A and B are shown apart, each in its own frame.
Chain A
Amino acid sequence: MTDFEGLLKSLADGGVNFILIDGVAATVHGGARLTEDVDVVYQRSEENIKRLAKAVIRLNPYLRGAPAGLPFQWDKETIERGLNFTLSTNLGSLDLLGKIIDGGCYDDLLPHTFELELFSIRCRCLNLQQLIHVKRAAGRPKDLEAIAELEALQDETDSLHDRERTRNYD
């Protein structure tokens, strides 16, 4: 089973700049669907790539779904040569994305995030509106039900805020 807490702590303890997206972000916003992995967008700066290489090497990463025995080496050079990595690790599945469709890279997404505390670590999560936007842009049929749930969450959150505003006026 994916150790969500362990994966997030490994990244945060390693000082990696990342943004939670996809299933875990949906859960943060109140989604009820199960997710199997942790997906993050990481910053592509030289320093952050160094930190990412160091933080993830301890988790014994390997390319998820790839045949065993490939000469895969997780280091700064590999990250620089690639962009998006879907990894299996000692703590479960971890997707490290340098860029996402219609969302761009870490710095593009940053204004659409908020900070939160999870398991005593501070991390950033994509806001609900942008999460819907990038999931729609990805255009994957398997996401349609997840998008429907996110949009329902948006309605519910808006209704909650409306009710709070009304109470404050009364």
Chain B
Amino acid sequence: MPTTPPIKPDPVIEAYQKDIERTLLRENLKLSPEERIRKLIELKRFAIELRRAGRTAKAHR
């Protein structure tokens, strides 16, 4: 099987890594791939509802 070249350290990416919420990743790793996609869909629905609620609240201010 062909191998992918090893990952070289990148200071910019490493700086971003400090802020990655690893507990979320660990929770996701307990799920199956399909459960992960279903969770993404639920989060998307939630994000859309939040945006809608925000727009409505602004319109009534």
Seen from chain A, the residues whose Cβ lies within 8 Å of a Cβ on chain B are 1-2, 4-5, 24, 27-28, 30-32, 34-35, 111-112, 116-119, 125, 127, 129-130, 132-133, 136, 144-145, 147-149, 151-154, 156-157, 160
B29 to chain A: which residues have CB within 8 Å?
A: 30, 153, 156-157, 160
Known contacts A4-B37, A5-B37, A144-B16; 9 further A-B pairs (Cβ under 8 A): A28-B33, A30-B28, A32-B24, A133-B5, A145-B16, A148-B17, A151-B13, A157-B29, A160-B29
CB within 8 Å: A-B pair count: 88
Beta-carbon contact of A144 and B7 below 8 Å: no
CA distance A133 to B40 in the complex (A): 23
Beta-carbon contact of A32 and B25 below 8 Å: yes
Seen from chain B, the residues whose Cβ lies within 8 Å of a Cβ on chain A are 1-2, 4-5, 7, 10, 12-14, 16-17, 19-22, 24-26, 28-29, 31, 33-34, 36-37, 40-41, 43-45, 47-48
